[in-house]
Amino acid sequence: MIQVQGLSKSFGKVKAVQNVSFSASDGQITGLLGPNGAGKSTTLRMLYTLLRPDSGTAQVDGFDVRESPLEVQSRIGVLADARGLYPRLTSRENIRYFGRLHGLEGEPLERQIDSLLLLLDMQSIADRRTEGFSTGEKLKVSIARTLVHNPKNVLLDEPTNGLDVMSTRAMRQFILRLRGEGKCVLFTSHIMQEVAALCDQIIIISRGEVAANGSPDDLRKQTGRENLEDAFVAAIGSEEGLG
Amino acid sequence: MKRIWVIFQKEMVDNLRDYRSWTTGLFWAMFGPLMLGGMILLLGNTIRDNVEEALVLPVLGAENAPSLIAFLEQQDVIIEPAPADPEAAVIAGDINVALIIPADYGADFSAGQTAKVQLVFDSTRQSAMVDITRAQNLLEGYGKYIGLLRLSLRGVSPEVVRVVQIEEVDTATPQSQALIFLSMLPYFIIFAIFNGASPVIIDATAGERERGSLEPLLINPLPRGWFAIGKMLSAMPFATINLILTLAGFAAIFRFLPIEELLGVQIGLDIGALTAIFFICLPIVFLACAIQTLIASFTKTTKEAGTYLPFIGLIPSLPGLALAFLPVKPDLWTMLIPTFGQQILINQFLRSEPIAEMNIVISAVLTILLSVIVTYIAVKLYEGERIVAG
Minimal CA separation from A229 to chain B, in Å? 33
Buried b (16+ CB within 10 A) or exposed e, B124-139: eeeebbbbbebbeebb
pLDDT tens track for B148-177 = 888 888 888 878 777 788 887 766 555 555
User: What whole-number distance in Å separates Cα of residue A214 and Cα of residue B104?
Assistant: 116
How many Cα atoms are found within 13 Å in the side-chain-facing hemisphere of A209?
5
CB contacts of B213 in chain A (<8 Å) are 82, 84-86
pLDDT tens track for A99-126 = 999 999 999 999 999 999 999 989 999 9
User: What whole-number distance in Å separates Cα of residue A157 and Cα of residue B96?
Assistant: 76
User: CB A83 to CB B212 under 8 A?
Assistant: yes
CB contacts of A91 in chain B (<8 Å) are none
3-state SS, residue B265 = coil
Mean pLDDT of chain B: 85
User: CB A78 to CB B219 under 8 A?
Assistant: yes
Averaged pLDDT for residues A195-212: 89
CA-based nearest residue in chain A for residue B215: A82
User: CB B212 to CB A89 under 8 A?
Assistant: no
pLDDT-derived band at A88 (thresholds 50, 70, 90) equals very high
Averaged pLDDT for residues B301-311: 86
Averaged pLDDT for residues A177-198: 90
Residue numbers of A between 97 and 126 with CB closer than 8 Å to B: 97-98, 100-103
CA-based nearest residue in chain A for residue B19: A88
Per the CB < 8 A criterion, the answer to whether B270 and B319 are in contact is no
User: CB A80 to CB B388 under 8 A?
Assistant: no
Q: Percent of chain A at pLDDT above 70?
A: 98
- Substitution target from A45, A50, A71 for chain B, most B beta carbons within 10 A: A50
pLDDT of residue B253: 85
- The answer to whether residue A95 neighbours chain B at the CB level (below 8 Å) is no
Helices (runs of H) and strands (runs of E) counted in chain B: 18, 4
- Which range, of A67-71, A207-211, B178-182, averages the lowest pLDDT? B178-182
CB contacts of A93 in chain B (<8 Å) are 10, 13
Averaged pLDDT for residues B20-41: 85
User: What whole-number distance in Å separates Cα of residue B238 and Cα of residue B196?
Assistant: 6
CB contacts of A101 in chain B (<8 Å) are 3, 6-7, 217, 220-222
CB nearest to A51's CB, from B211, B217, B385 = B385
Per the CB < 8 A criterion, the answer to whether B3 and A101 are in contact is yes
- The answer to whether residue B12 neighbours chain A at the CB level (below 8 Å) is no
- The answer to whether residue A46 neighbours chain B at the CB level (below 8 Å) is no
pLDDT of residue B147: 86
3-state SS, residue B76 = coil
Minimal CA separation from A69 to chain B, in Å? 8
User: CB A86 to CB B211 under 8 A?
Assistant: yes
User: CB A84 to CB B213 under 8 A?
Assistant: yes
User: CB B219 to CB A87 under 8 A?
Assistant: no
User: CB A101 to CB B3 under 8 A?
Assistant: yes
The residue with greater pLDDT, A220 or B365, is: B365
Secondary structure of A121-179 in HEC code, one letter for each residue = CCHHHCCCECCCCCHHHHHHHHHHHHCCCCCCEEEEECCCCCCCHHHHHHHHHHHHHHH
Minimal CA separation from A176 to chain B, in Å? 23
- Substitution target from B200, B213, B224, B234 for chain A, most A beta carbons within 10 A: B213
Contacts of B366 (CB under 8 A, 6+ apart): B335, B336, B337, B338, B341
pLDDT of residue A243: 43
User: CB B222 to CB A101 under 8 A?
Assistant: yes
Per the CB < 8 A criterion, the answer to whether B40 and B263 are in contact is yes
pLDDT tens track for B49-101 = 555 678 888 998 888 888 888 888 888 888 888 888 888 888 888 888 999 99
CB nearest to A97's CB, from B10, B219, B221 = B10
pLDDT of residue B306: 86
pLDDT of residue B379: 93
CB contacts of A51 in chain B (<8 Å) are 385, 388
The sign of the torsion formed by the CA atoms of B118, B123, B125, B127 equals: positive
User: CB B211 to CB A48 under 8 A?
Assistant: no
The residue with greater pLDDT, B24 or A5, is: A5
Residue B327: exposure state from Cβ atoms within 10 A (0-12, 13-18, ≥19) = middle
Q: How many CB atoms lie within 10 A of CB B17?
A: 15
Minimal CA separation from B221 to chain A, in Å? 5
- Substitution target from A41, A68, A97 for chain B, most B beta carbons within 10 A: A97
C-alpha distances out from residue B368 to A191, B237, B289, B297, B304, Å? 54, 17, 12, 20, 27
User: CB B221 to CB A70 under 8 A?
Assistant: yes
The H-assigned helical ranges of B183-270 are 185-204, 206-211, 214-218, 225-256, 259-263
Per the CB < 8 A criterion, the answer to whether A235 and A35 are in contact is no
Averaged pLDDT for residues B220-229: 93
pLDDT-derived band at B316 (thresholds 50, 70, 90) equals confident
Give backbone dihedrals phi and psi of A207, rounded to 5 degrees, phi first. 50, 40
Q: Percent of chain B at pLDDT above 70?
A: 90
Contacts of A50 (CB under 8 A, 6+ apart): A80, B215, B218, B219, B385, B388
- The answer to whether residue B147 neighbours chain A at the CB level (below 8 Å) is no
- Give, for B100, the enclosing helix (H) or strand (E): strand B97-100
- The answer to whether residue B215 neighbours chain A at the CB level (below 8 Å) is yes
pTM, to two decimals: 0.79
Beta pairing class for A55-60 and B118-121: unpaired
Which domains are present in chain B? 2-44+176-389 (no CATH), 54-169 (3.40.1710)
- Which range, of A227-241, B68-82, B285-299, averages the lowest pLDDT? A227-241
Residue B204: exposure state from Cβ atoms within 10 A (0-12, 13-18, ≥19) = buried
User: What whole-number distance in Å separates Cα of residue B167 and Cα of residue A100?
Assistant: 77
CB contacts of A48 in chain B (<8 Å) are 219
CB nearest to B14's CB, from A51, A83, A89 = A89
pLDDT of residue B173: 55
**pLDDT above 60 for A239:** no
pLDDT-derived band at B193 (thresholds 50, 70, 90) equals very high
CB contacts of A50 in chain B (<8 Å) are 215, 218-219, 385, 388
- Following DSSP, what letter does each residue of B43-71 receive, concatenated? HHHHHHHHHHSPPEEEEESGGG-HHHHHH
Minimal CA separation from B308 to chain A, in Å? 24
pLDDT-derived band at B267 (thresholds 50, 70, 90) equals low
The sign of the torsion formed by the CA atoms of A162, A52, B296, B307 equals: positive
Bridge partners, A59 (sequence order) = A3, A64
How many Cα atoms are found within 13 Å in the side-chain-facing hemisphere of A224?
0
CB nearest to A48's CB, from B7, B208, B219 = B219
The CA-based diameter of chain B, rounded to the nearest angstrom, is 104
3-state SS, residue B118 = strand
Length of chain B: 390
- Following DSSP, what letter does each residue of chain A receive, concatenated? -EEEEEEEEEETTEEEEEEEEEEE-TT-EEEEE--TTSSHHHHHHHHTTSS--SEEEEEETTEETTT-HHHHHHHEEEE-S-----TTSBHHHHHHHHHHHTT--HHHHHHHHHHHHHHTT-GGGTTSBSTT--HHHHHHHHHHHHSTT--SEEEEESTTTT--HHHHHHHHHHHHHHHHTT-EEEEEES-HHHHHHH-SEEEEEETTEEEEEE-HHHHHHHHT-SSHHHHHHHHHTS-TT--
pLDDT of residue A168: 87
CB nearest to B219's CB, from A80, A84, A85 = A80
**pLDDT above 80 for B46:** no
Length of chain A: 243
